[in-house]
Amino acid sequence: MRIRIAVAAILLALTWGNTAHADETENLIVKYYSDILDRSPDAAGLAYWKAEIERVAVLRVDRKEGFIALAKLFFNSDEYIAQGKSNVQYAADLYRTFSNRAPEQAGLDYWAALLDQGVGRNVILNYFVYGEEFSLYMRNLFGADSSLPECNLVNDLYRGL
pTM of the predicted model as reported, rounded to 2 decimal places? 0.78
CATH numbers and ranges of domains, the chain: 2-160 (1.10.3130.20)
Give the pLDDT confidence of 2-17 residue by residue, as tens digits. Answer: 555 444 434 434 444 4
- DSSP one-letter string for 68-132: HHHHHHHHTSHHHHHT---HHHHHHHHIIIIISSPPPHHHHHHHHHHHHTT--HHHHHHHHHTSH
pLDDT tens-digit map of 83-117: 999 999 999 999 999 999 999 999 999 999 999 99
Q: Helix 121-129 to helix 87-94 angle, to the nearest 10 degrees? A: 20
Question: Contact, 67 vs 28, CB < 8 A?
Answer: yes
Query: What is the per-residue pLDDT for 59?
Result: 80
Residues 76 and 85: their CA atoms lie apart, in Å, by 12
